[in-house]
A and B are shown apart, each in its own frame.
Chain A
Amino acid sequence: MGTTSHKTGAELMTGTTAQAAAQDTWREVIALLVQAADVGYRDAEANPALHSAALGARLMAASAVELLPPELDHLLDDVVLEPRTESMSMAELIAAAEAATRRHPIEELPIGASRVIVDICDLVRETRQ
């Protein structure tokens, strides 16, 4: 169980530091998917075939948000992505979201994460040229 004396709100919610760290990563995954959706939507003006995957990324972000406690929604606004993500394509951002999910054992991620991750893997395959 929790090992630190200065717990954040997230740690108090879940009871463990590891799970709090995994929740932070999960928020990063959500931010990457939202950015992928926005980039995909922008690029779809030139290539309408991207509309579908952009919508898929947006819906997956929404599914991922559902797995977090609603009272911590405000933390989603605090996520800062690495600057290198600004030049990434939709496919690269989705792949980055999938890669981020590997930083933690599955049991530390929010319950139900497995289903979302499988969907992200499908989207990675779908957006591969």
Chain B
Amino acid sequence: MIADEDAVDLRSVGELLLDADLTSRAALWENGPDLAKARVRTYGEVVEAAADLWAAIPDPANDQSMSRIASLADGLHRTHQRTSWPGAGDADPHLASVATSLARAAELVQGRRHPTAALTAPAQLDAEAARTRLMHVLYVSAHSVGVALRPYITDLQRRTDARHSIPRGDSLARARDTRERVGAIERLAGVALKDRWPAVLAEEHREKAWPDRLGQALARWDLQAHRTLAAPPTVSNLEVIAQNQQVIVVATAIISAACANQGSLDPAAVERVRPALADLDRSWSGLRNDLAELRGRQPRLDADLVGAGHEVRAALQQITHDHAGFARPEVMSGRVDLQLAAQQLHQSLTAAVDLAHVTRDALADPELTVGARGAHEMAQASSAARTQAAWVDVGSLHQNRDVPLPYPVRDRLIDRADRIVEAAITADSAGTALRQERPRSPEPALASGRHHQEREIPKGTSPQPGIGCER
């Protein structure tokens, strides 16, 4: 939504469409009877702006879905003018924002594209994705009108049944008629989306990875992991920290190998670091597996930690992956400055030495509790001398309550953490040479647009999520 109408809106067509999509979904959460008339009043503007944008986007197939929807909405508007329902009044803020975004997107497309210019194949796919998202906006917006009309109609029906008067300006018959007609629009949009949403969105143009995204994501993660561990530690948070550190280590190895393959890092230096990274990977993995066994009744994670983890994963995924597998080195090098990415990752390994120490401290924290069953099994399997007393009391075991760590379990976890500290120091030392290497590639650091196209996700053949996947 645009907060300041006087400000210049710098958003791209894609960003405007995404904003319209998310705002239309947000409208679904508000459904009081007081909203119905405003939403009905504003829906016509949404359809009108959508029709303008649809007409501006080139369409060789001449899809008529939008013209049918616009015709229905036009008829509904004439009825509203004739019957004076819902009448004049405020607009619905969500749908007004959607209409504004769509109108702005239409202006951008109309102003920048030559009407007779031919589209490239990727541009055609992007246009198809834009039409699909636009249709989805109409589909969800229509549903939001129905959602708002439902309590309005129920309220008026109750008054009618109780033989109470209906407030001036309200109409049960008009509301029902509108609900049917907007429902027809929703069904038409649903048919248009069939087999297209969300699969076609895979062809939507995506911006290149910005050079500093990874560096910022890693710095934010390191900071957040320290902050999270500064609070009373939980097994869930520690487990995700270990898992994310492992993802970073694996990505460091993959990107370093890709750099060596593309000639931007010395292959011998990369080969020297490889065993240290593998050892660090195993060390974090050992801790993560133990913590997974010790999960108790603590399903929640620190929300900021989750946000930082999402960002690291997304920044790395954008570079290293094609679907479920790793991308080829030449594809990765077309996406970002690989050497810079490798350096940022190796720098993060330096910071990870401290994180390993902090993790060890957290595991030694007497406030740390774990699931009783996992603790019992791990303690039983340890070589610690058995005592007469059970490691975990029967009641806690039965209900899998959270319990303090039995000492064999704590010893095992701290041993794991010590190994991580050791492996992190070794990996940091081994990576020193890589952090100091200078670019040797004669090519410019940033990816070209042509290379970027190679990572666009092709259409899949496996079953797609169908209409209403946002449910």
Q: Do A and B come from one complex?
A: yes
- Contact A62 B300, beta carbon cutoff 8 Å: yes
- In the complex, which of the residues A62, A66, A104 has the most CB atoms of chain B within 10 Å of its own CB atom? A62
Which residue in B31, B326, B465 is a CB contact (below 8 Å) of A121?
A: B465
- In the complex, which of the residues B29, B288, B462, B465 has the most CB atoms of chain A within 10 Å of its own CB atom? B465
* A22-B202 Cα distance, complex, nearest whole Å: 29
Q: Is A81's beta carbon under 8 Å from chain B?
A: no
Q: Is A111's beta carbon under 8 Å from chain B?
A: yes
- Contact A51 B247, beta carbon cutoff 8 Å: yes
Min CB–CB distance A94 → chain B (angstroms): 11
Chain B interface size band reads: 35 or more
- In the complex, which of the residues A49, A76, A129 has the most CB atoms of chain B within 10 Å of its own CB atom? A49
- With known contacts A54-B243, A126-B323, A41–B460 Cβ distance under 8 A: no
Q: Is A38's beta carbon under 8 Å from chain B?
A: yes
Min CB–CB distance A27 → chain B (angstroms): 10
Which residue in B247, B300, B400 is a CB contact (below 8 Å) of A55?
A: B247
Min CB–CB distance B231 → chain A (angstroms): 16
- Contact B198 A73, beta carbon cutoff 8 Å: no
* A76-B295 Cα distance, complex, nearest whole Å: 13
Residues of B within 8 A of A126 (CB): 317, 321, 323-324
- Contact B470 A118, beta carbon cutoff 8 Å: yes
Residues of A within 8 A of B471 (CB): 101-106, 109, 117
- Contact B325 A73, beta carbon cutoff 8 Å: no
Residues of A within 8 A of B470 (CB): 106, 114, 117-118
- Contact A127 B297, beta carbon cutoff 8 Å: no
Question: Which residue of B is nearest A91, CB measured?
Answer: B324
Of B2-10, B85-93, B115-123, B305-313, the one contacting chain A is B305-313
Which residue in A63, A74, A95, A127 is a CB contact (below 8 Å) of B324?
A: A127
Min CB–CB distance A57 → chain B (angstroms): 10
- Contact B244 A127, beta carbon cutoff 8 Å: no
* A111-B27 Cα distance, complex, nearest whole Å: 11
Residues of A within 8 A of B246 (CB): 51
Which residue in A59, A62, A103, A106 is a CB contact (below 8 Å) of B313?
A: A59
Tell me whether chain A's interface is mostly helix, strand or loop, or mixed. helix
Residues of A within 8 A of B313 (CB): 52, 55-56, 59
Q: Is A48's beta carbon under 8 Å from chain B?
A: yes
Min CB–CB distance B325 → chain A (angstroms): 5
- Contact B299 A76, beta carbon cutoff 8 Å: yes
Q: Is B303's beta carbon under 8 Å from chain A?
A: yes
Q: Is A28's beta carbon under 8 Å from chain B?
A: no
Q: Is B25's beta carbon under 8 Å from chain A?
A: yes
Q: Which residues of B contact A (CB under 8 A)?
A: 22, 25, 28-29, 31, 143, 147, 198, 202, 236, 240, 243-244, 246-247, 250-251, 254, 285, 288, 292, 297, 299-301, 303, 306, 309-310, 313, 316-317, 320-321, 323-326, 400, 457, 460, 462-463, 465-466, 468-471
Given contacts A49-B320, A54-B243, 6 further A-B pairs with CB under 8 A are A55-B247, A58-B243, A59-B309, A62-B301, A66-B300, A107-B31
Pairs across A and B, CB under 8 Å, 15 listed: A41-B288, A49-B326, A51-B250, A55-B313, A58-B243, A59-B306, A74-B297, A102-B468, A102-B469, A106-B25, A107-B31, A127-B323, A127-B324, A128-B323, A128-B324
